[in-house]
Amino acid sequence: MTEITLDVNGKKIKKTVPDNTLLSTFLREHLNLTGTHVGCDTSQCGACVVHVNGESLKSCTTLAADIGNAKVTTIEGLEKNGKMHPMQEAFKKMHGLQCGFCTPGMVMSAIDLLKKNKNPSDNEIRDWLEGNICRCTGYQNIVAAVKEASSKM
């Protein structure tokens, strides 16, 4: 067992969990933050992407014990005073989702992109979202949503 101390969406968390607890399991099952999805077993789909100390990573491929006292942001931590984050607004406006399963990971990954590249081209967006798989949308509207967000953020 390991004691995990984290800041999750601005809240201090301290819990003792088995050493093999994945960050995705910790968020979903120990904190009930089920916005972070798990879509595969092979680290390829990106539905589980969250931010750890500001960088996007796959929470299904990270041990909770391995991220020390990090600051974690999940999809639940994006809204401010009941208002959606501009990236969430843009996905809604541009129909960047259908079933919504991939969306939390897409949104978290895309926000990380805009932090590094304020005005990405279509190709740069597609390149960046390499690790996020969507079964529904065909990606066109996802790219459009990220573009829309980049004009607002």
Partner 1 sequence: MKSFNYHSAKDSKEASKLSSSNSAFLAGGMTTIPSMKLGLASYKDIIDIKGIKKLSGIKVSGKSVIIGATTKHVEVANSKDVKKAIPSLALLAEGIGDPQVRNRGTIGGSIANNDPSADYPSACVALDAIVHTNERKIEASKFFKGMFETALKKGELIEAIEFKVPEKSSYQKHPNPASRYAVVGVYVAKHKNGTIVAVTGAKPCVYNDKDLSKALDSNFSANSISGMKLKSSDMNSDIHASAEYRANLVVIQAKKAVEAC
**Binding residues vs partner 1 (CB under 8 A):** 2, 18-20, 22, 41-44, 46, 49, 55-58, 60-63, 65-66, 109, 112-113, 128, 130-132
22 contacts which partner out of ligand FAD, partner 1, ligand FES, none, CB within 5 to 8 A by kind?
partner 1
| Those residues with Cβ within 8 angstroms of residue 71's Cβ, 6 or more apart along the chain or in another chain | 6, 7, 52, 53, 54
From the list 133, 34, 142, the residue with the least C-alpha distance to 88 is 142
117 DSSP 8-state letter: -
By CB under 6 A, is residue 44 in contact with ligand FAD? yes
Shortest distance (Å) from residue 145 CB to ligand FAD: 23
By CB under 6 A, is residue 69 in contact with ligand FAD? no
SS3 16: strand
By CB under 6 A, is residue 2 in contact with ligand FAD? no
Q: Are 123 and 83 in contact (CB under 8 A)?
A: no
CB-nearer residue toward ligand FES: 73 or 137: 137
Based on its alpha-carbon atoms, the radius of gyration of the chain, rounded to whole angstroms, reads 15
Residues that bind ligand FAD (CB under 6 A): 43-44
